[in-house]
Structure formats: C-alpha cells, structure tokens
Amino acid sequence: MNPLLQDFNTAPFSKISNDDYKPAIKKGIEIAKSEIDKIVNNSDIPTFENTTVALDFSGEKLNRITSIFFNLNSAETNDEIQKIAQEVSPWLSEFSNDITLNEALFKKVKSVFDIKDTLDLNAEQKTLLDKQYKGFARNGANLKDDDKNKLRKIDAELSKLSLKFGENVLAETNAFEMHLTDEKDLAGLPESVKEAAKEVAKSKEKEGYIFTLDYPSYIPFLTYADNRELRKEMAIAAGKKAFKDNEFNNEQVVLDIVNLRNDRANLLGYKTHAHFVLEERMAETPEKVIEFSNNLLEKAKPAAIKEFKNLENYAKKLDGIDQLQKWDGSYYSEKLKKELFDLDQEILKPYFKLENVIAGVFEIASRLFDLQFEEVSNIEKYHEDVKTYNVTDINGNFVSVFYADFHPRKGKRNGAWMTSYKSQQIKNGINERPHVSIVCNFTKPTETKPSLLTFNEVTTLFHEFGHALHGMLANTTYNSLSGTSVSWDFVELPSQVLENWCFEKEALELFAKHYETGEVIPMKYVKKIKESASFHEGMQTLRQLSFGLLDMSWHSQNPSEIKSVKEFENEAFANTKLYPDVAENCMSTAFSHIFQGGYSAGYYSYKWAEVLDADAFEYFLEKGIFNKEVATKFKENVLSKGGTEKPMKLYKRFRGQEPKPDALLKRAGLL
C-alpha cells in the first residue's frame, strides 16, 4: 500500500520511497477531482455551505501529499526527486487550472457571491467567499475557451521553468569548492571556520580545507579571509551562479519566465505581472511600491554614500586599496565595526550555542504567548538532523507539531524558510492543529565545538520562528485563510517583529550564556550589539531596496524587448549602485526569491513589513517587551487571525492606529 495514500497524522517519512510520489500525486488529483465533481453535480441550489465551504475543504489529501514532496525537494532532495518534480509540476498546474477554468463550478461560486449581501456571514466567511470568487476571476474563469487553453499552456510552462531555475542554482552551488592546503591562505579566518572547512575536506576524503558556496562557509570566508585574491575568487564564483556558459545557465530561463508572466497578466486583463500580483496586496499597485521604495531610498541614499566613502577611506588607510570591490565590503565592514564598537562576531559566538538559542526563543514564546515546547522522539523525521517538538498551551492543550532542521547538507537549498506539512482548520467541529517546520543552514557542530551561531544566524532563527508562530497559533475555520495565508506584504510582520527581541537585554539574559562557563553575555556586549545594530544601515537599506526595485523592473513593464539579462539588471541597479560592476557576475540568474520562490513583484514586502514591525515593536517598548496585554493583542489580532480580514484592519485593531515609517527610520538611525 502507498503510505502517502493512507490516513496519517504526522508525515510517515520512513515509509515513503521515491516510487510512491508519482502514483500518490496522481491518485490525490483524482480524489480532489471527484470532490469537485460532487460540488458541481449537486442539484441543490448553491449555498455558502455546499459550495464555498465544500470547495475550501476539497483537495486536502492532495495538499498533504504535495506538501511532503515539495518540502523534501527543498530540504532533502536528490536527482530522482528533482526529476519527479519536473514531471508532476505540470500535472498540478493543469489540475489547478481544471478548477479555476471549470465553468460549471465558477457559475456556482458566482451565484453564491452575487447574493452575499443577503447572507448572514461573519467577517471570515465574507473573506473566504470574496477570496474564492477572485481566485476564479483573477485566474481566467471569465476567459473564452481558446484563451483558457493559452493560460493552461503558460502555467504548465512556468511551473517547469521555476523548477529548472532552482535546480540550476543548486547544481552550481554544489559544483564549486575552494580547496586550500597552504596554512597561510587561511590567515584571518577564525578557528571555528577553519575547523568546519577541515571537516568538509575530511568528508570528501581530501587533505586540507574546503570552502563552499553554502552560507556558513561562504559568508565567514568573505568576512574574515585576509587573502584578497581568494576573497575575489569566492565572491565571483558566488556571483556567477547560473551565469556561466554551461548547461546550468539561467539567462534564457529568466527571460522566458518574465515574458510568460507578462503574457499571463495581459491575457487576464492586467497591464503587467506586477499589476496582477499587487491588486491583492496591501500595496495595491506597482506605482505605490515604487513610490514607497523611492521615498525610503531618498532617506537612505545620502547615509549609504557617506558610509561607503568612510569604508573606502578606511580600506585605503589600512591596506592602500584605491577602489573598494564587492569582495572587500564584508571584510572591511567587519574590521571597521570591530574598531568602532570593539565588537567581534567571534567573541559573541560562544554565547550563542544553538541549543541555548532554541531554548531562548521557546522561553520568549512562552512568556509572550503561553506556549510550551517538548522535544519528542515519536514523530518521524526525514533526516537525523531534524528536531521534533510537541507544542502545547499553558493548560496542556495541544497546539502544534514543530519540526526544526538547522544544518546545511548536499540535498538542501541555501537560505532559511518556514513551511508547513498540515494547515490548521476547524472541520466537523474539530480544531485540526497545524504541523509547522523551519529549515535553516547554520554552522554545524565540530568534533571540539557545538554549533555556535553568529549574531546574524541568531536573528535568522528568530525570524523563521516568528513565521512558525504565525503558523502554530493559527485559529481560523478555513484552511485557505489559516496561518501564513495572508497577503504577502503582511506575512513578514510576525517574523521581523520577533527579531527585535534579539537586541534586548531582558531577552538576551534568558539564553545568551557562554557554552563553556555558563556566564551570561556581559552587558557591555549587549550595549554594543544595540549600538552596532544600525551600523551601515544606509548601505543595508540601499541593498534591500535595490533587490526590490530589480524585482519591480522585471515585473512592472513589458519585458519582450529585453535581450540581455545583465544589461537590464545594470540599468535597474543604476540608482542604488555603490560598488563597481563585476562583468562576469549577475544577480538575476540566481535570484531564487523571485524566480523560484513566491516573491515575484513582492520582494519590496521585506521593507514594507519592516515599517510595520518597527511600529509594532515600538508598542512593546512603550509597555515592556514581555507585556502580556500587548502580546495578547498581537496574538489575538495578528498571529491567530491568518488572512481572515484585511491586514490593515487587523493591524489597526492590534495597534490602535496605522503604522508610521518614523519608528523604522529612528531604529535605522536614518532620521
């Protein structure tokens, strides 16, 4: 029997083989189709219950199967899984089109939508009906038959292209290694970084040290290695991922994706892909996003230029460097930061043992939201590195299953993300609780040291855990509105707001303890962490805005005339550029957020949500960072509500007012 087709609670990883996926997904689609047929063939008059609710609960089996499959394709993939993904993705986009382009079904949805004012619906029910109707209308339900067929073709092609894009980036990441055997090439690198590189070499049965493009290897190398030529080699290797003249080149893939997205938007009656996407976001239009970005740019650019000049002068004074290059930025920033604040990331690391940071984030969640976390061994995992937890509330009621997967390995893509294996919903009177997971790429423990995190990794863990809380505390009736199913420029609020606790003395004292002596992090370091938090904030803001504006450039105009990815990108970066261009590098060909993940026409949302999170945290600071009243308001109006109402409504209910950008500018030292 196929384990994926049995009834299961937590994912039955140990029983699944790669051969199970295709038949299970095929069968899942069949089951979902029969659920749709049942709605369509129901001879009763369409009602909210027999149409809207029935449709929301359909496809549950398929969703559980595909969540397992695609989560593993990101966190524990191999050639075979990637091949299956290429095969099943078109099936799924075809099926999704079978729903949105089903005329009889749309007729029923529309007939309920047309009488919505006569129905006695609560806010969540109204949102569900509205979202469902728009889901059809915005995805081609009103198109003529031949246009519907065009749409199907485009969607099938896009699903394959985004997979291809990701596979190329992963292949290129895995293909590069810098093998060093001469000790003097390692000058400047901390012991822990050298030790990790030695273990990588050992695992590949080689002498010496191996550095890779995985973040825990790549970032410290660029930050600390004294050898400028090697930093250059490393930076250029990272910058030319999927931009080389080989089978993994993504240039045509990028052009094909943006053109197909534009064609799709035009077909649906929108000017561009960005106009289509943003209609359902807080920002509403590309014009508004560009205006928002440019306003921030105006505030940040003078600071960024000044910071860059200072850094350039510093590098010149220190090492006689005339022109600061991309491979110099992190290196001299770290040195300057150390000089200005007497703060060395390596001095901080012993206070951030991974296990202690996990315990700390759990303790903070407990104080704010009354959650308890218990590590358990009776939940199956897909890799031995994964930790599994039962989450309960203060009265012992079950809240969620929580998976955490912290270290890099060959089958795992770079970066950090939160995902879920099962959504929360209330069905047949039972509140079905969610199964939530976070995946990161933190430094592995070595023979002599536990996993010690950089301060950046600490904030990353808090960030992803903030997303996880949004998933775990979900408490809505319908799964399509549950947890992180919110508008994309609102989804980063819970994650980004939680990062703020990493900078507060009261919070740090709970978990930042020296892994050998147990000594609490000295307050002088906490003070320095806070002081240095806005170090180079102008440059950081410029960098984030440059990515968001590049995304908007790709998606808010007709791309059909673009011939060169590189030239187009350079134009998009013209207003935010600090470093000289590197001819053999290109960002777009490895910009997975917008070409593989779901951030197309949405990368601005990180900055947008920063305005929200700074404003929200200001409220905590006024009342106390563990203030129960504010925490409960946040839990009840934001974390548990998912996408049941418009985000601004939820935010104002929590905060009592609309967010103002002043809190962000103040925090960033840009006022």
Q: What is the pLDDT of residues 213-239, one digit of tens each?
A: 998 899 999 999 999 999 999 999 999
User: Other CB atoms closer than 10 Å to residue 121's CB: what's the count?
Assistant: 16
Collapse the DSSP code of 80 into the 3-class scheme (helix H, G, I; strand E, B; otherwise coil) and give the result.
helix
pTM for the predicted model, two decimal places: 0.87
pLDDT above 90: residue 598: no
Closest CA to 422 of 8, 6, 3: 8
671 pLDDT tier (thresholds 50, 70, 90): confident
> What pLDDT is stored for residue 206 in this prediction?
96
pLDDT digits (tens, 9 = 90+) for 411-451: 998 899 999 999 999 999 999 999 999 999 998 898 899 99
Mean pLDDT (the chain) is: 96
Q: Where are the domains of the chain?
A: 3-142, 176-239, 251-258+268-345+537-601, 350-484
- Say if residue 518 is exposed, middle or buried (CB neighbours under 10 Å; 0-12, 13-18, 19+): exposed
Sort residue 211 into left (φ over 0), alpha (ψ -120 to 50) or beta. Answer: beta
Residues tagged active-site: 464
> What pLDDT is stored for residue 488 in this prediction?
86
pLDDT digits (tens, 9 = 90+) for 18-48: 999 999 999 999 999 999 999 999 999 999 9
3-142 belongs to CATH 1.20.1050.40 = yes
Closest CA to 108 of 170, 150, 46, 190: 46
pLDDT above 90: residue 112: yes
350-484: CATH topology is Collagenase (Catalytic Domain) (3.40.390)
Angle, helix 60-75 to helix 79-100, in steps of 10 degrees: 150
Closest CA to 371 of 394, 340, 403: 394
pLDDT digits (tens, 9 = 90+) for 35-90: 999 999 999 999 999 999 999 999 999 999 999 999 999 999 999 999 999 999 99
pLDDT digits (tens, 9 = 90+) for 604-651: 999 999 999 999 999 999 999 999 999 999 999 999 999 999 999 999
CATH superfamily, with its number, for domain 251-258+268-345+537-601:
Neurolysin, domain 3 (1.10.1370.10)
pLDDT digits (tens, 9 = 90+) for 342-384: 888 889 999 999 999 999 999 999 999 999 999 999 999 999 9
> What pLDDT is stored for residue 496 in this prediction?
95
User: Other CB atoms closer than 10 Å to residue 565's CB: what's the count?
Assistant: 22
Look at the chain and count its residues.
671
Helices vs. strands in the chain: H and E counts, helices first: 27, 9
> What pLDDT is stored for residue 489 in this prediction?
87
